[in-house]
């Protein structure tokens, strides 16, 4: 095709927004229509997004489908969108999750259906934008736009007990982090502007600049890195910034938890790969011990907390803390395997934890409880449910043949290449992970049906199965044939690794330490 | 040539003359034909719009490349981009307030004609502040504005709180005017001049360590601090905001604050640039205090007018960040923020008026309960204002804050910006509480909103401004940047 090219990225980003605006013109009591329109809009967005991997140049590390329009030239802001191997699968994941979010709310959401779908679609636009924006101002706008709908989703449709608390806690934590990141962005903007003479928020331009670094905590690059870190670490969430997560997850409606786990947490890890690593490579290397410590803490702490949870949803929320610790550990191995595994594991975690939240939601719709004690022996009553739960659980604990295995394996290889100790801790996390998941499954699914009222529970209907099937297909696809996924991200990841290797020379350059200097001086005086 | 008088110079002040004349006609109408409410309303709106047209007409040559500011009446009256910018903000605010008032005044029993006439007089006063080329013009503008507002605050004659507001504001206002005058007289004594340029020129030659100069600066800071409610001179403000008729509160919060900022910029940047080092330190502390105390106390409010009062104190704190950062970037950020602030705050107050009916006073946060379900459009508008006040994209408040922060970072005030960041998080808490009440609370039986068309138009206009400037800020940023030239060396 020559001449006019479709602004594909703009379409997949703003189509949901257009759908949201369309919803405003539908009467609020036509709930069926509202649901169908939302499903069609998200479905079409998914179909269009499929064109992205199909026409993506797998051999290129550069950004593709780039669109560029001037927006606020006075301060150097442009509308720039682009996609590379790192963001490609996250965009596809977002596109896949959204129709599922609509589907899983079909019967669960009966109040204020119009606003609910409006917020879902609005959030869809924000999430797409975060992964596609290549201008810091634009990125920040999308980053914040995601918060507002999520706040309302938790606050209005959440579990009545503590939804207000959870909603404001989520909003406050993430907003605080974001605004600190904004200061980091501004610092980069002014520094690069002074260096190059043109002030711009264009991320590609800002990446070309190298920012001053020295092995002191207070050097420019380290401080900016920390500003970004705060925002991303809260979003991931990394230990000890994770406390908003269990509350938000537990109180959110199923679709909210699904999106939160599948996409919103990835915004944090994506931020690290996209910005912190390639823009501030020296600072990244400087903070490796710090990051790895936090990640290992998260892996083990998250898993231990899971073991004592009474509430199934809270358990899965804490398992996210542990799994995201894994993603961070792989990332900060800072080598090919670790990074690839980390990015793949982002997608995997999105798929499998998303599916787990769906599974909790399905049972909650039936028994109106999330307590493990209220379940037990359900697989005899609901065999389809039990089967899908089992597959998802195996995906989550990384059984070979399913997606989780590939990601965890790569992360372990990456970590092992740096230090066998890291790999050891990571493996213990996997073992604990298998323990709490299997135990959860055993307590809820196996054995006799302990509660009389659970005996007549209906199994999943077609719509409910359809919410899980796409995810299950993806489990197997990534698990059995991960090559296309890894191949697409390889050049982009290679570029990041190369940049880090360059930085390593700077960081590990033999600088005389104060002690050495003294020693040398003493020698000289002798 | 200073000292000469050219009758044609009056034409430079045509917008003010025009608006004052309209105000006088409205005043005459109010006793000649008191029943003709519609005439007075139309005339007032027409007066404001007409003045706007005159201003734009005067602004076109100024904003052309090579357009130079005009100074008439021996330099006491300036027509520059800075003045035009602020005057447009005042007119937007006045227009919004008139639209809000049209059905509100009869509801609360305020005499219509006098109200509009005094409102317009107050606007004329503000316009003189913006154009003030020496301390006296500025002072007279300030008094014209303030005295009009004292009257407006007490317009609810039978309402105790309104009386309290008027008296409190009068006493505080008179006191602060006295302090400003004292500062002016000290400056005059030191430099022998009243014009900003002459003062600045003299200060360049004299010994700057003179304690009287410092005293003058402190006096002026305190005086203007009272006018725009900088902590610790803010105590009166919440009571005044709560007691005054809501339309007047909106006027106070938007137009009068903007005028105070204009005065502050004129005096400190115009007359005292040589001691910028001194007042920057002072305002650094004041900015940090103002935003923190404003936001923290706002969290505890149940009355939305009081909450917005503290929020406006906090926003003045943000504005001061740009003032402290200084330079073209900082001052243009102040200008831009004042414009943005006008839209979002006027919008929020319009929402309070919207809630007021014959039976419900509508000034408690609980009165917003359930609005999201019963009146989704109104609630959505309020959410947009609240998000903008918090500074969340894609609203104008975000761009304003972004621009202020970038000015502060570029000038190296990282700590002050960090304080502002923490404050942003605090403010989220109380702004979102209103949203929470609207969407998660239960609506009382028969919740009704004002059916006033002009009020709806005011809300729509404010939404348009808040979202429009938020999504397409380019043009407005350029105007704000252009408007500081001439004020800064």
Of the candidates B244, B265, B286, which is a domain's last residue? B265
Between A526 and B55, the higher pLDDT residue: B55
**Which pLDDT score is estimated for A55?**
87
Coil/strand/helix, residue A71: strand
- Whether residue B300 sits in one domain with residue B255: no
Assess whether B334 and B236 both reside in one domain. no
What pLDDT digit, counting tens, does each position of A17-63 carry? Answer: 999 999 888 888 888 899 999 999 999 999 999 988 888 888 888 88
- pLDDT of A67 over the 60 cut: yes
The total number of structural domains in chain B stands at 2
pLDDT at B371: 87
The residue from B265, B285, B305 where one domain ends is B265
| Mean pLDDT, residues A225-253 taken together | 90
Among B317, B333, B484, B481, residue whose Cα is nearest residue B406: B333
Mean pLDDT of the A356-382 span? 86
Which residue range(s) make up the domain with B14?
Answer: 1-265
Q: Check residues B1 and A421 and name the one with the higher pLDDT.
A: A421
Percent of chain A with pLDDT over 70: 96
Residue after which a domain boundary falls, among B265, B283, B306: B265
A45 and A12 Cβ atoms separated by less than 8 Å: yes
- How far is it, in rounded angstroms, from Cα B169 to Cα B160? 14
Q: What is the pLDDT of residue B63?
A: 81
**Res. A517: pLDDT tops 60:** no
State residue B105's pLDDT score: 87
Tell me whether residues B436 and A180 touch, CB distance under 8 A.
Answer: no
* Interval B43-85: pLDDT, tens: 999 999 999 999 998 888 888 877 778 888 888 888 888 999 9
* Residues in CB range of A430: below 8 A, 6 or more apart: A397, A398, A408
Residues of chain B above pLDDT 70, percent: 98
Residue B94: both structure tokens together: 């006045």
pLDDT of residue A525: 46
Burial class of residue B5 in the structure, from the number of CB atoms within 10 Å of its CB (0-12 exposed, 13-18 middle, 19+ buried): exposed
Q: Which helix (H) or strand (E) holds A97?
A: helix A85-104
For β-strands B70-72 and B77-79, DSSP reports them as antiparallel
**Does A1 score more than 60 pLDDT?**
no
Match 């231990």 to its residue by tokens. Answer: A304
Which pLDDT does position B109 carry in this prediction? Answer: 82
Q: Is the model's pLDDT at A523 over the cut of 50?
A: no
CA nearest B439 in A: which residue? Answer: A156
Contact A183 B474 (CB under 8 A): no
User: Three-state SS for B321?
Assistant: helix
d(CA A167, CA A53): 35
- Assembly ipTM: 0.90
Element (H, E) at A64: strand A64-72
Q: What pLDDT, on a 0 to 100 scale, did the predictor assign at position B7?
A: 78
Using the predicted structure, report yes or no on whether residue A516 has a pLDDT greater than 50.
no
Based on the fold, state whether residues B216 and B311 are members of the same structural domain. Answer: no
Q: What is the pLDDT of residue B423?
A: 93
**Closest by Cβ to B436, choosing from A74, A164, A175:** A164
- A420 in Cβ contact with A361 (< 8 Å): no
Identify whether residues B244 and B310 lie together within a single domain: no
Q: Of A369, A191, A347, which is closest to residue A280 (Cα–Cα)?
A: A191
DSSP B304-345: HHHHHHHHHHHHHHHHHHHHHH-HHHHHHHHHHHHHHHHHHH
Q: What is the pLDDT of residues A422-461, one digit of tens each?
A: 999 888 888 998 999 999 888 888 888 878 887 888 888 8
Three-state DSSP class for B77? strand
Closest CA to B362 of B349, B344, B346: B349
User: Chain B residue with minimal CA distance to A193?
Assistant: B410
User: What's the confidence (pLDDT) of residue A458?
Assistant: 85
In B, which residues are within 8 Å of A75 by CB distance? 403, 406, 477
- B351/B260 same-domain check: no
Q: How confident is the model at residue B487 (pLDDT cuts 50, 70, 90)?
A: low
Q: Which residues pair with B71 in a beta bridge?
A: B78
- What pLDDT, on a 0 to 100 scale, did the predictor assign at position B141? 94
Give tens-digit pLDDT for A455-491.
888 888 888 888 899 999 999 999 999 988 898 899 9
* Model confidence band, residue A526 (pLDDT cutoffs 50, 70, 90): very low
Residues B258 and B306 in one domain: no
Q: What distance in Å separates residue B314's CA from the closest CA in chain A?
A: 17
Whether B252 and B361 map to the same domain: the answer is no
Say if residue B184 is in the same domain as residue B312: no
B104 and B134: one domain? yes
pLDDT reading at B427 higher than 50: yes
A126 contact partners, CB below 8 Å, separation of at least 6? A142, A143, A145, A146, A149
Query: Taking the mean position of all CA atoms in its chain, how far away is CA A354?
Result: 11
pLDDT reading at B435 higher than 80: yes
Question: What tokens were used for A517?
Answer: 């200097």
Show which of residues 362-421 on chain B sit within 8 Å of chain A, judged by CB atoms.
372-373, 376, 387, 390, 392-394, 398, 402-403, 405-406, 409-410, 414, 417-418, 421
* pLDDT for the residue B489: 52
- Could you please report the per-residue DSSP string of B148-217? HHHHHHT--TT-HHHHHHHHHHHHHHHHHHHHHHHHHHHHHHHHS--BHHHHHHHHTTS-TT-HHHHHHH
């Amino acid at each position: 095709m020559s001449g006019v090219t479709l602004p594909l990225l703009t379409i997949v980003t703003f189509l949901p927004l257009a759908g949201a605006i369309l919803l405003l013109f539908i009467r609020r009591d036509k709930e069926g229509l509202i649901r169908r329109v939302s499903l069609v809009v998200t479905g079409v967005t998914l179909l269009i997004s499929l064109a992205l991997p199909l026409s993506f140049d797998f051999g290129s590390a550069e950004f593709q489908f780039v669109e560029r329009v001037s927006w606020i030239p006075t301060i150097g802001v442009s509308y720039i969108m682009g996609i590379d191997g790192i963001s490609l699968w996250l965009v596809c994941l977002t596109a896949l999750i959204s129709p599922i979010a609509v589907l899983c709310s079909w019967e669960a959401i009966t109040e204020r259906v119009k606003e609910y779908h409006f917020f879902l679609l609005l959030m869809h636009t924000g999430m797409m934008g975060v992964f596609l924006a290549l201008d810091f101002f634009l990125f920040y706008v999308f980053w914040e736009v995601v918060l507002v709908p999520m706040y309302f989703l938790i606050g209005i449709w959440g579990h009545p007990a503590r939804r207000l608390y959870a909603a404001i806690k989520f909003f406050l934590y993430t907003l605080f982090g974001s605004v600190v990141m904004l200061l980091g962005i501004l610092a980069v903007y002014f520094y690069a502007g002074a260096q190059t003479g043109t002030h711009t928020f264009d991320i590609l331009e800002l990446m070309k600049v190298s920012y001053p670094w020295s092995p002191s905590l207070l050097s420019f690059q380290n401080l900016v890195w920390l500003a970004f870190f705060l925002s991303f670490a809260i979003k991931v969430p990394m230990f000890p910034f994770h406390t908003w997560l269990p509350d938000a997850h537990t109180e959110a409606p199923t679709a909210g938890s699904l999106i939160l786990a599948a996409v919103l947490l990835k915004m944090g890890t994506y931020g690290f790969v996209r910005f912190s690593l390639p823009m501030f490579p020296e600072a990244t290397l400087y903070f490796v011990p710090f990051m790895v410590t936090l990640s290992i803490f998260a892996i083990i702490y998250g898993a231990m907390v899971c073991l004592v949870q009474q509430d199934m949803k809270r358990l899965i929320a804490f398992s996210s803390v542990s799994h995201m610790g894994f993603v961070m550990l792989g990332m900060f191995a800072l080598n090919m395997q670790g990074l690839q595994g980390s990015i793949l594991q982002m997608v995997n975690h999105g798929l499998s934890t998303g599916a787990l939240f769906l599974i909790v939601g399905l049972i909650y719709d039936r028994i109106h409880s999330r307590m493990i004690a209220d379940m037990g022996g359900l697989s005899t009553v609901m065999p389809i449910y039990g089967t899908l739960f089992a597959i998802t659980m195996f995906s989550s604990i990384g059984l070979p043949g399913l997606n989780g295995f590939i990601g965890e394996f790569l992360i372990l290889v990456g970590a092992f290449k740096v230090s066998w100790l890291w790999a050891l801790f990571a493996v213990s996390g996997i073992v604990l992970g298998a323990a709490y998941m299997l135990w959860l499954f055993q307590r809820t699914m196996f054995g006799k049906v302990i509660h009389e009222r659970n005996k007549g529970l209906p199994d999943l209907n077609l719509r409910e199965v359809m919410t899980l099937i796409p995810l299950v297909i993806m489990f197997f696809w990534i698990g059995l044939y991960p090559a296309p996924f890894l191949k697409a991200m390889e050049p982009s990841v290679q570029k990041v690794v190369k940049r880090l290797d360059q930085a390593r020379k700077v960081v590990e350059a033999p600088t005389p330490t104060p002690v050495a200097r003294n020693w040398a001086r003493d020698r000289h005086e002798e | 040539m200073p000292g000469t008088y050219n009758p044609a110079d009056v034409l430079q002040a045509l917008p003010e003359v025009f608006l004052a004349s309209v105000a006088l006609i409205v005043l005459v109408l109010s006793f000649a034909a008191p029943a003709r409410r519609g005439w007075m309303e139309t005339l007032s709106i027409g007066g404001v719009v007409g003045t706007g047209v005159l201003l734009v007409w005067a602004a076109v040559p100024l904003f052309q490349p090579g357009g130079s500011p005009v100074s008439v009446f021996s330099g006491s009256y300036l027509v520059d981009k800075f003045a035009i910018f602020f005057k447009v903000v005042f007119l937007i605010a006045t227009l919004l307030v008139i639209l809000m008032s049209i059905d509100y005044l009869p509801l609360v029993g305020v005499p219509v004609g006098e109200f509009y006439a005094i409102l317009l007089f107050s606007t004329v006063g503000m316009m003189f502040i913006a154009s003030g080329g020496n301390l006296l013009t500025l002072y007279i503008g300030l008094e014209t504005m303030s005295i009009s507002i004292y009257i407006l605050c007490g317009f609810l004659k039978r309402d105790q709180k309104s009386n309290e507001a008027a008296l409190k504001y009068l006493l505080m206002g008179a006191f602060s005017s006295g302090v400003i005058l004292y500062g002016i007289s000290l400056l005059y004594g030191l430099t022998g001049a009243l014009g900003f340029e002459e003062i600045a020129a003299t200060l360049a030659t004299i010994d700057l360590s003179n304690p009287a100069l410092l005293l003058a600066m402190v006096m002026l800071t305190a005086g203007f601090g009272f006018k725009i409610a900088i902590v610790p001179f803010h105590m009166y403000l919440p009571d005044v905001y709560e007691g005054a008729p809501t339309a007047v509160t909106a006027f106070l919060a938007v137009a009068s604050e903007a005028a105070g900022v204009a005065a502050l910029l004129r005096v400190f940047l115009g007359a005292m640039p040589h001691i910028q080092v001194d007042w920057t330190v002072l305002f650094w502390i004041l900015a940090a205090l103002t935003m923190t105390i404003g936001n923290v106390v706002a969290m505890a409010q149940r009355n939305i007018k009081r909450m917005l009062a503290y929020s406006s104190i906090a926003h003045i704190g943000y504005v001061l960040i740009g003032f402290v950062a200084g330079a073209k970037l900082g001052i243009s950020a102040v200008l831009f923020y004042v414009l943005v602030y006008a839209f979002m705050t006027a919008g929020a107050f319009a929402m309070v008026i919207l809630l007021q009916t014959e039976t419900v006073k509508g000034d408690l946060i609980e009165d917003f309960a359930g609005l999201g379900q019963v009146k989704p459009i109104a609630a959505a508008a309020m959410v947009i204002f609240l998000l903008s006040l918090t500074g969340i994209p894609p609203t104008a408040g975000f761009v304003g804050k972004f621009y202020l922060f970038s000015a502060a970072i570029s000038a190296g005030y990282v700590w002050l910006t960090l304080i502002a960041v923490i404050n942003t998080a605090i403010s989220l808490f109380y702004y979102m509480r209103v949203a929470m009440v609207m969407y998660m609370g239960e609506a009382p039986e028969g919740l009704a909103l004002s059916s006033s068309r002009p009020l709806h138009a005011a809300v729509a206009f404010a939404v348009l401004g808040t979202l429009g400037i938020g999504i397409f800020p380019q043009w407005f940023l350029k105007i704000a940047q252009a408007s500081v030239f001439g004020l800064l060396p």
